[in-house]
Amino acid sequence: MARIFTPKVVTANRLMQGDAVWLTANGHWSDNIRDAEFITDEATADLRMMDADTQAHLIAGVYLADAVMGDNGPEPTHFREDFRTRGPSNYAHGKQVDKVENNV
Amino acid sequence: MYKYNDFDEGFVRTRVAQFRDQVARRIDGSLTEDEFKPLRLMNGLYLQLHAYMLRVAVPYGTLNSTQMDMLAHLAETYDKGYGHFTTRQNIQYNWPELGDVPDMLSDLADVGMHAIQTSGNTIRNVTADHFAGAAADEIADPRPVAELLRQWSTDHPEFQFLPRKFKIAITGSPNDRAVTKAHDIGLRMVMQNGAAGYEVIVGGGLGRTPMIGKVITDFLPQADLLPYVEAIVSVWNRLGRRDNKYKARIKITVHEHGIDEIRRLVDARFAEIRPSFSGIDQEILTAIAEQFAAPAFKIADTKGYEAARIANPAFRSWTDTNLTQHRADGYAIVSISIKKHGATPGDATADQMRVMANLARTYGHDELRISHEQNVILPHVHKSDLPKLYTALRAADLATANIGLASDIIACPGMDYCALATARSIPVAQEIAMRFDELKIEHDIGALKIKISGCINACGHHHVGHIGILGLDRAGVENYQITLGGDHTETAAVGERAGPGFSADDIVPAIERLVLGYMDLRNSADETFLDAYRRLGVAPFKAILYPQERANAA
Ligand code: HEM
Ligand code: SF4
């Protein structure tokens, strides 16, 4: 019997800017968790982590984070990961403003 | 103020060049992250939740206006226009890009500053009383000794790979404003038979296992200070628990072996190494001390100041809370609150930094200090200049009259920035400050230290807050644990846990209830929260915090 696997996304910080990024199904790094590949089994998770490790020139501190599938793509389940998709709460800095800029 | 000599200058420049090369090699792929991480940490560069973070040391909290201007320049050029002053007299930049960090370090080197040993298992920035050289209660300025310790510890070959980080704090005043009892080594200047020496405290610390330090010697002559401190670090370097990171700090070593055994080992090591200290250190100390000579204090009358106090209640209120007695006639120590209600504790914008630098230049003999309570100090201001200074501070949103009051909160960055955090600290601090401002009772409450950490590491000093708040993660939800009765002064104590934690929605009402409850409990308006707590014990405060449980038990 397969062990129960909590769905995951692969995440890291971008090497140059240090901002949070997520691994997409085609092996790119997106600054939006919704673009991330939603991983539902351990074997894929292992493989993707190995892929990520070969991209050390782009990212640092890669790890697997728990996620659930929402209407528009993967969403974080823990508030820590939620903050990483937004930025800090004391200033409109980080992704919460980058997103606004991207939308205009 | 201490000015780098050619050796210091050369050392820092070389280090910047090395790091520039290391960053280039990380970017071109010749260094892996595993190889690069220890190198960046040696230069104060962390990777946090949303970005890199650069931690710059402000040795013993002392800055001149040129250095403060440079901190502003860094905030503006490489960051988002602000910096965060911490409880260890450092400034942290929350948003630098990797490629810019060598330039930041190079800019810092231009003004005699650096980020060396602001991370890693080394002797960290030596911190000192933020009123050093100015306070009326001071025996002598502790900063020359702090600078001697900095020179000795920087790049000390034996102490680059200690079991864990090592923190030294020093005060020259009997009123301890440097939290000496919660440091790995605390040094308190004392006089004996007309000579200054030190009471040496070891094994204090906060974090997961908070401990108040123990006195290892009650009088150490000035001339023995460096070899004795070296003996302590050396003994710990050998005995420290390298098998377990949580047991590696010297507080655990002292706890496990007992202070008497540690004293015996330190004395033995001291006897061994004492002869190798030829006295050069004392010559160096004398030369350093000359650079810390007091400024030429001016003589002027203070009538205008007294008149302004009578004429302007807002000014009077500010002078009541934000001034401390200076040792020179007619002078005052000015604490500039960077805790305007609702602001992030410890953050200053580039503009504010420049305003403070300018004020130091114009009215403050070119000196500034950073306090461990995350405020900025102008240590030497003549009272006749205070009305003009106040007006300038007001214009820059820097005239909040709340030093030592409920909204003068220490808060670590917490989950808003820190990768280790288990909950947020900043919004809790902001909400508490706003709440007390709405109630307009801060001045009635009186002296109160609220300190908040976003995880067990206790960077926000919650253990030694009269009211401490620790952010925790309870099954994926922010939860806040309250501790009561902590004290960071010469009567240091670790606070006691009040009971179950509160949710993010309930923590501010709980603090409000607690403080209002204290106002009912106190003997008179003069009995501080801490005094009332010490008189009454934890029980009545628990009853206020958890009224439901009392009802259930009844
Ligand atoms: C944001 C990056 C930070 C990281 C990664 C960090 C990490 C840590 C860790 C791991 C400890 C526990 C160490 C131990 O007990 O062995 C600690 C303690 C401490 N840190 Fe931080 N910290 C950070 C920021 C700060 C800030 C912003 C402050 C001040 C506001 C600060 C001041 C302290 C103090 C005072 C202690 C505890 C006292 C002690 O060492 O006994 N740190 N920190
Ligand atoms: S107490 Fe925890 S959350 Fe706060 S700065 Fe320290 S390590 Fe980060």
Q: How far is B510 from chain A (nearest CA, A)?
A: 22
What would the DSSP string read from start to end of B377-442?
EEEEEEGGGHHHHHHHHHHTT-----TTSTT--EE--GGGT-TT-SS-SHHHHHHHHHHHHHHT-H
The pLDDT value recorded for residue A104 is: 37
Given B51, B426, B473, which is nearest A90 (Cβ)? B426
User: B228 C-alpha to center of ligand 2: Å?
Assistant: 32
Q: What is the ipTM of this complex?
A: 0.93
pLDDT digit string, tens, across residues B105-145? 999 999 999 999 999 999 999 999 999 999 999 999 999 99
Q: Kindly indicate the confidence band of residue B551, based on its pLDDT and cuts at 50, 70 and 90.
A: low
Q: Which of A80, A86, A95, A97 to mutate to test the interface with B (most CBs of B within 10 A)?
A: A80
> What mean pLDDT value characterizes chain B?
96
With 70 as the cut, is the pLDDT of residue B300 above it?
yes
Q: Which of B34, B36, B45, B50 to mutate to test the interface with A (most CBs of A within 10 A)?
A: B50
With 90 as the cut, is the pLDDT of residue B548 above it?
no
Yes or no: say if B386 and B378 are a contact pair by the CB < 8 Å rule: no
Encoding tokens for residue B295? 């400024």
Cβ of residue B423 lying under 6 Å from some atom of ligand 2: no
Q: Is A94 an 8 Å CB contact of chain B? A: yes
Are the Cβ atoms of A88 and B32 closer than 8 angstroms? no
Q: Kindly indicate the confidence band of residue B384, based on its pLDDT and cuts at 50, 70 and 90.
A: very high
Q: Kindly indicate the confidence band of residue A14, based on its pLDDT and cuts at 50, 70 and 90.
A: very high
Question: Strands B477-484, B467-474: parallel, antiparallel or unpaired by DSSP?
Answer: antiparallel
Alpha carbon nearest to ligand 2 atom 2, residue: B455
Atom index in ligand 2 nearest the CA of residue B418 equals 8
**Nearest-angstrom CA–CA distance, B552 and A86:** 42
With 60 as the cut, is the pLDDT of residue B272 above it?
yes
Please choose from B455, B461, B470, B483 the residue to mutate so as to test ligand 2's pocket, defined by most ligand atoms within 8 A of CB: B455
CB atoms within 10 A of CB B543: 12
Q: Is B323 helix (H, G, I), strand (E, B) or coil?
A: strand
The pLDDT value recorded for residue B265 is: 98
DSSP letter assigned to residue A63: E
Q: Kindly indicate the confidence band of residue A102, based on its pLDDT and cuts at 50, 70 and 90.
A: very low
pLDDT digit string, tens, across residues B310-327? 999 999 999 999 999 999
pLDDT digit string, tens, across residues B419-434? 999 999 999 999 999 9
Q: Is B97 an 8 Å CB contact of chain A? A: yes
The pLDDT value recorded for residue B197 is: 96
User: B211 C-alpha to center of ligand 2: Å?
Assistant: 18
**Nearest-angstrom CA–CA distance, B206 and B305:** 42
Residues of B in contact with A90 (CB under 8 A): 344, 347, 416, 426-427, 430
pLDDT digit string, tens, across residues B467-505? 999 999 999 999 999 999 999 999 999 999 999 999 999
The pLDDT value recorded for residue B42 is: 94
The pLDDT value recorded for residue B552 is: 63
Atom index in ligand 2 nearest the CA of residue B471 equals 3
Q: Is B475 helix (H, G, I), strand (E, B) or coil?
A: coil
With 60 as the cut, is the pLDDT of residue A103 above it?
no
pLDDT digit string, tens, across residues B250-261? 999 999 999 999
The residues in A 44-63 lying below 8 A from B, measured between CB atoms, are 56-57, 60-61
Cβ neighbours of residue A100 closer than 8 Å, sequence gap 6 or more: none
Average pLDDT over residues B503-526: 98
Given B28, B95, B476, which is nearest A79 (Cβ)? B476
Which CA distances in Å does B529 have to B323, B446, B513, B541? 21, 8, 13, 11
Q: How far is B513 from chain A (nearest CA, A)?
A: 25
In chain B, the domains with their CATH numbers are 6-110 (3.90.480.20), 127-288 (3.30.413.10), 312-396 (3.90.480.20), 410-552 (3.30.413.10)
Cβ of residue B455 lying under 6 Å from some atom of ligand 2: yes
Among A97-101, B55-59, B415-419, the minimum mean pLDDT is found in A97-101
Q: Is A67 an 8 Å CB contact of chain B? A: no
Residues of A in contact with B427 (CB under 8 A): 89-90
Q: pTM of the predicted model, to two decimals?
A: 0.95
Q: How far is A64 from chain B (nearest CA, A)?
A: 15
pLDDT digit string, tens, across residues B203-240? 999 999 999 999 999 999 999 999 999 999 999 999 99
Pick from B402, B443, B430: nearest CA to B511: B430
Yes or no: say if B159 and B235 are a contact pair by the CB < 8 Å rule: no
- Chain mean position to CA A84: 9
> Phi/psi of residue B333, each to 5°?
-95, 125
The residue count for chain A = 104
Residues of B in contact with A84 (CB under 8 A): 49-50
Q: Is B505 an 8 Å CB contact of chain A? A: no
Cα dihedral B164, B170, B174, B178 in deg (nearest 10): -70
The pLDDT value recorded for residue B499 is: 96
Q: Is B50 an 8 Å CB contact of chain A? A: yes
The pLDDT value recorded for residue B1 is: 77
**Long-range CB contacts (< 8 A, 24+ apart) of B534-540?**
B534/B485, B538/B484, B538/B485, B538/B496, B538/B498
**Nearest-angstrom CA–CA distance, B431 and B416:** 15
Residues of A in contact with B29 (CB under 8 A): 56-57
Rg for chain B, CA atoms, rounded: 23
pLDDT digit string, tens, across residues A22-52? 999 999 999 999 999 999 999 999 999 999 9
The pLDDT value recorded for residue B102 is: 98
